[in-house]
Chains A and B, each alone.
Chain A
Amino acid sequence: MLRYILKRLVSIIPVLLGISVVVFFAVRLIPGDYATVTLGTQYTEEAAAALRQRYGLDQSIITQYFIWLKGILTGDFGFSYISNQPVALLLFSRVPVTLELTLFSLLMAVLVGIPMGYWAACKRNRMPDSAVTVLGLLGISIPGFWLGTMLVLLFSLTLKWFPSGGFVPLSEGILANLRCMFLPALALGVAVSAVVMRSSRSAMIEVVDQEYMKMGKAKGLSQTRLILKHGVKNTMIQVLTILGLQTGSLLGGSVVIEQIFSLPGVGSLALQAINNRDYLVLQGTVLFIAVMFVLINLIVDLLYCVVNPQIRY
């Protein structure tokens, strides 16, 4: 087990190296570099050259990459060109917001999506199943930006139950914090729940047809107990996989939702960095998201052995 984890961790290194290359060069493909964007209408050749020299952007692109890579290996992600703050610090001030948003959306998916999916599977081809299927389709199809806007219109502007945006950290009161997270978490959670619901429904449909479920029934188990004791654990591989993928993408921050609700999360940090051509911040952010993805995948793989005894590493 420990060997497997180590092996997986080692295999992450080439993946991250590859990502670092792609990120680094892709960022520089954006038209207009840092100097042109910052100077704007006051652009002169001299001023631009001075700016580029100041941030080492005048060196060859390969040299720049290796300087950045060397920094990362020593734990130095560089500074923001705009605020002069270390990238690592910027990132860590944003992570809690994204983390909270992720947790709430996941919670909704687990508490709403999974039970509804199972319920639909048990009532297959009947009313509840059709209702859940339609809801799932709606949840997946409705774009987050539209749902977010509608939620703001209804709950913030008309009913005035929740703030329309902004972030209150946990340290300034749990209730205030929850109030400002509710709508964004709901807007994001709907799509996640829909995806999770569909996969738990299809997983359970597969399981209820298995011979051991019939055996359980012949043993005298009630339908509820049969599903809970014999069904759920057998669907977990599929459900965990989907949950893992969703968590990975949620941790990357939802650019759109964070923008609509003006939440200072990882997603909005990345968007700002793109607009300002703040290369080092953008590179650091994308690399962070990649690491999160890979780690979540590892955790999901390890959880497989908990739910399926046949999987051993």
Chain B
Amino acid sequence: MKEENNIENLLEVRNLQVEFATRQGHMHAVRGVNFSLKKGEILGLVGESGCGKSVTANSLLGLVGKKKHEKVTGEAWFHGENILDKPEKEQQKLRGNKIAMIFQDPMTSLNPVLKVGRQVGEVLEIHQKKKKQDALEEAIIQLQKVGIPSAKERAEDYPFQFSGGMRQRAIIASSLMCQPEILIADEPTTALDVTIQAQILDLLRELRDTYKVAILLITHDLGVVAELCDTVAVMYAGEIVEKASAGELFSHPLHPYTKGLMACVPVLGRKEKLIPIPGQPPKLYEEKAGCQFADRCPKRRPECSRDTSLLEIAPGHYVSCKEVGRIG
């Protein structure tokens, strides 16, 4: 499955697999994920809780796969190097430097006993060996850029003196300090209320426009995807089941799971009943051949238990469902 072999791709992930040995048994959390990220592109990785989207992100940075019970295989090419194969020391040099990451909950992502300015400037101390004072000064400038008023004073504050939205801004500021080429945002707005969400999304878009940073946005919120993403990959049970540009995906969703997801989103003013997807996602402890969604799928056919590779239905629109492929 080599549907994309573009040299322009900043990051190219091929056949990423993540497995965990747990007490309940062997768990195959990510099952051969492929995607690529271009400079300045915002790619949304969508799916419900437990579909493997966060694990995918964490494994790219080497945050998963270091312990005995974790196993990451596959390739992630970045500037001609497979970053999954690099030793921990080399990965450390990438983290927060070339590839930065921000997390879901700004309330707990900042160290409660260190001043915000220190925490924002810290990456410069690590990656550029800057002095504390210089790092702090640059941190203040960056805090200003992400919209923290009177940044100089606020840099001396502790996280508990910041509101949730301000904390997420501070975290974003810290992720930008080394001018990363890729920003992985793991549900960056989930813990925030709606007005603050919109502000943070605006900020992310601005960053892309100004710095041409590529963003891998992980979310379960289709509204956020529609708002921000250029390309969308829909994940289900550890696999990508559909991938297309955001416009294409929202106007012509093909995979029954994608359609199901969209039917679950309430639309203001419309009185129709929401249609939930019946059943539960499969337990990732079991290995099942063929389409993982088949058990819940209204269009299930006998051949669904075979191959699930992505097919290009329309230019740039890939889907794993053979039923749809056949009709299309």
Is B111 touching A222 in the complex (CB atoms < 8 A)? no
Task: Say if the beta carbon of A307 comes within 8 Å of chain B.
Answer: yes
Name 29 A/B residue pairs within 8 A (Cβ), A-sorted: A211-B103, A211-B108, A211-B109, A212-B108, A212-B109, A215-B109, A215-B110, A215-B171, A218-B63, A218-B100, A219-B95, A219-B123, A220-B92, A220-B93, A220-B94, A220-B97, A220-B123, A220-B127, A221-B96, A222-B92, A230-B114, A233-B113, A234-B111, A234-B113, A308-B112, A309-B112, A309-B113, A309-B158, A309-B160
Give the interface size class of chain A. Answer: 20 to 34
* Apart from A211-B108, A214-B103, A220-B123, 5 more pairs, CB < 8 Å: A212-B108, A212-B110, A220-B92, A310-B112, A310-B158
On B, residues with C-beta under 8 Å from A are 61, 63, 92-97, 100-101, 103, 105, 108-114, 122-123, 126-127, 158, 160, 171, 174
Query: Across the interface, which residues of B come within 8 angstroms of A230, CB to CB?
Result: 111, 114
Whether the Cβ atoms of B92 and A307 lie closer than 8 Å is no
Chain A residues, Cβ within 8 Å of B63: 214, 217-218
Closest to A126 in B: B68
Nearest B residue to A216 via CB reads: B111
For B127, list chain A residues within 8 Å (CB).
220
From B92, B97, B103, B113, A215 is in contact (CB under 8 Å) with: B103
User: In the bound complex, do residue A218 and residue B114 qualify as a contact, i.e. CB atoms below 8 Å apart?
Assistant: no
With A211-B109, A212-B108, A234-B113: A218-B96 Cβ-Cβ less than 8 Å: yes
Say how far A128's CB is from chain B's closest CB, in angstroms: 15
Interface check A210, CB cutoff 8 A? yes
Q: Would you call B112 and A212 a contact (CB within 8 A)? A: yes
Best-buried of A219, A309, A310 by chain B (most CB within 10 Å): A219
In the complex, what distance in Å separates the CA atom of A210 from the CA atom of B111?
9
Interface string of A76-115 (1 = CB under 8 A from B): 0000000000000000000000000000000000000000
Decide: A217 near B160, CB < 8 A? Known: A211-B108, A212-B110: no
CB distance from B139 to the nearest CB of A (A): 13
For A217, give its contact among B95, B112, B113, B174 (CB under 8 Å). B95
Residues of B within 8 A of A216 (CB): 111
Closest residue of chain B to A218 (Cβ to Cβ) is B101
A216-251 interface with B by 8 A CB criterion: 216-222, 225, 229-230, 233-234
**Docked CA distance A222–B66 (Å):** 13
Whether the Cβ atoms of B103 and A220 lie closer than 8 Å is no
Which of chain A's residues has its CB closest to B111's CB?
A212
Q: Give chain A nearest CB distance to B215 CB in angstroms.
A: 15
B131 → chain A closest CB, angstroms = 15
Name the interface residues of A180-216: CB closer than 8 Å to any CB of B.
210-212, 214-216
Find chain B residues with CB under 8 A from A214 CB.
Answer: 63, 103, 109
CB contacts (< 8 Å) of A219 on chain B: these are 95-96, 100, 122-123, 126, 174
B177 → chain A closest CB, angstroms: 9
Residues of B within 8 A of A234 (CB): 111-113
Q: Which residues of B contact A233 (CB under 8 A)?
A: 113-114
A-B interface, 3 closest residue pairs, ranked by CB to CB distance from nearest: A219-B96, A220-B96, A220-B95
- Complex CA–CA separation, A229 to B92 (angstroms): 16
**Which residues of chain A come closer than 8 Å to B103, judged between CB atoms?**
211, 214-215, 218
Closest to A211 in B: B108
